Amino acid sequence: MSDHPRAILLDPGLPLGSEAAEVARVWINDEGRASVLIAAYLLDDPAIFGRLMSDVVRHAAVAYAGTWDGDERDMLQAIVGGLSDGLRDQDGDIVTMQDGGAS
């Protein structure tokens, strides 16, 4: 979906390397719900995925601070607060876009 008009553009100079792989893709739809694709077959240990997500959260804090002219620590705390709230509210079912697998 890199050709979607609202996709994040990749900088051609980004040093991804030839072995780089996209592990997750997250979209927010018109109703404000997440559409998520996870390439779980790329990381055999779910704990590694958790560490990756912690890195994503830190990068998000930097991005929010720069975009909204805020303090990185404040943005990090807001993100962590929202993440904690979301993790506590996991009693509902999710609609999956994929069942998992090796591709």
- The Cα 56–Cα 50 span in angstroms is 10
Residue 19 lies inside a defined structural domain of this protein: no
Residue 39 lies inside a defined structural domain of this protein: yes
Residue-range definition of the domain harbouring residue 70: 24-88
Domains in the chain: how many in total? 1
Residue 15 lies inside a defined structural domain of this protein: no
Residue 57 lies inside a defined structural domain of this protein: yes
Q: Say what the pLDDT of residue 1 is.
A: 45
pLDDT tens-digit map of 28-56: 988 888 888 899 999 999 999 999 999 99
**Cα dist. 4→8, 13, 23, 26, 38 in Å?**
9, 21, 18, 13, 18
- The Cα 96–Cα 40 span in angstroms is 14
Task: Give the long-range contacts of residues 19-22, CB within 8 A, separation 24 or more.
Answer: none
Q: Residue 86 is inside which H or E element, if any?
A: helix 72-88
Report the CATH number at residue 46.
Answer: 3.30.2370.10
N- to C-terminal Cα distance for the chain? 16
Task: Share the mean pLDDT of the chain.
Answer: 88
